[in-house]
Structure 1
């Protein structure tokens, strides 16, 4: 029998709580739900007002995975949705605005992915993202070197950069912006990637071509496009272990000499939040949001 739980006045059916989702560690669906409930204070602001895409893995990371942007069948009427422009039409997507909606979505066993814009201003990004993806044998250690270079470059342009692990192999750099058309943000991000490759040719590549990537860090600027999404801060990932896309300090990036130093699982997040708070909270500070530099306006 599926247990019914009440969350802030909403009745939720939370199913298969004993099901092991991550066999390597025995991490269960009940533990996944507990993780999201206990992390909600930090996670919800990063989901708020952003149409959510789901990467669902109901049988764990080794089972079937499917990516969906549309509102799933059976969505409760109290879960908010937003009309979102697509290439030739509009569609509706979920907005995870509160704890009941978060727990309902978590019960589907999902990674959360969000765009760089809010539902009330589609195609106008309020943050820039650079996805640093290492090509083996490069690791997150090399990503850290690239991140420090890119941070210095963006600081010179008056921008404030913050970092999180992808929860997989790499790093994400996030920058608060005054709302800016996504195509302009993409253009500026591409300039940064091309320039980094020119200055660090042994470390960085800006093209996705697989043959160019072994041993280098691919600086993916494309996730700034209006149609693209990035793993939301604090989302669990469909990896062998219950790893989390985790905000990190620049000191941790500077000190990273081994990939294991920047691997964080669900159990690590509560202690980090107690110690640091949300390291990405500055993304919500309007005084830190900056316009793109004038040269990126072309």
Structure 2
């Protein structure tokens, strides 16, 4: 296979390179397969990326090599890639603004995959808007694992439902889970984060042997940390259907609540990360289980 060759994607010219380079050595998964995955998953992935400032984690030498976070558009960004100059709260380099990439279309997604941008992370709001999502991260402290995350997810689902908030589960693609909740987009990040923290503390008080709401790592062994801070202005969360930098090309995978219940009971459906090939089959069978996130939701209750 030639090292470089040109392709046309929806009318945009791209130069792809090193497609046979192995990015997931233990699985033998190549850059060409990464590009193929993102191309095939694009119909359900792109709606979740649309109008959101994108943070990428790039692995130019594969998942066993060095990596780096990238928020700013790289110097060689094609002119047709959408960028937005936005405030950069919490920038590690002290920048006031960043030229973010916005992945609104398939050519941009293929371009990013060719740069070995394996992981795609997004904020809980669209550009220039208030948060339209609330996300809580469920992070197990060993020996707790995904099974315990499923138990906490069910508890949180029921508590949020009592406030009229729908929640939709997905794996993180690593060891944990996230619950994603569509909200009205009328409250600021501080209000959303405050509500998530209050619910996390309630569950911690009700289930102290299973749940922890504080970030201190010494409190986490054997429990599930409900990370409510994912809604802070400086935070992002891995996008649905994004690859993760694991030994195998696992994916942040939407789940059904039946699968979460099965996971809580120790059965396979939600007790380990799903690989890219299986996620493509799931989407072909069931479509986008997180499509309701795109339709908006209610306001969160006042504190």
- TMscore range, shorter length: over 0.9
C-alpha RMSD of the superposition: 1.2
Give the Å deviation of 1:258.
4.7
The whole-number CA distance in structure 2 between the counterparts of 1:120 and 1:52 is 14
2:298 matches 1:290: yes
Q: In structure 2, what is the Cα distance between the partners aligned to 1:201 and 1:84?
A: 40
How far has the Cα of 1:262 moved from its partner?
Answer: 3.7
The answer to whether the aligner puts 1:277 opposite 2:277 as a matched pair is: no
Aligned to 1:225: 232
Distance in 1, matches of 2:108 and 2:23, equals 21
Q: Which residue of 2 aligns with 1:65?
A: 67
Q: Aligned residue for 1:9?
A: 11
* Partner residue of 1:149 out of 138, 152, 155: 155
Distance 1:135 1:258 in 2: 20
Identify which of 43, 46, 57 aligns with 1:44. 46
Give aligned pairs, total: 291
Range that drifts further, 270-279 or 168-177: 270-279
**Who is 1:195 aligned against?**
202
Q: For residue 120 of structure 1, report the CA deviation from its aligned partner.
A: 2.6
Consecutive unaligned residues of structure 2, counting only runs of 5 or more, are 90-94
* 2:128 alignment counterpart: 120
Offset from partner CA, 1:52-86 (integer Å, 9 cap, x none)? 00111111111101112111120101000112112
1:250 & 1:148 partners in 2: Cα distance? 8
Which residue in 1 is equivalent to 2:253?
246
Provide the C-alpha distance between the structure 1 equivalents of 2:147 and 2:115, rounded to a whole number of angstroms: 33
Normalised to the residue count of structure 1, the TM-score between the two structures is 0.95
User: Structure 1: how far apart are the matches of 2:288 and 2:255?
Assistant: 9
**Structure 1 partner of 2:86:** 84
Contact 1:117 1:226 in 2 (8 A): no
Following superposition, the deviation at residue 90 of structure 1 comes to 2.2
Q: 2:92 aligns to what? A: none
TM-aligned CA deviation for residue 51 of structure 1: 0.3
Give 5+ residue unaligned stretches, structure 1: none
Aligned equivalent of 1:174 = 180
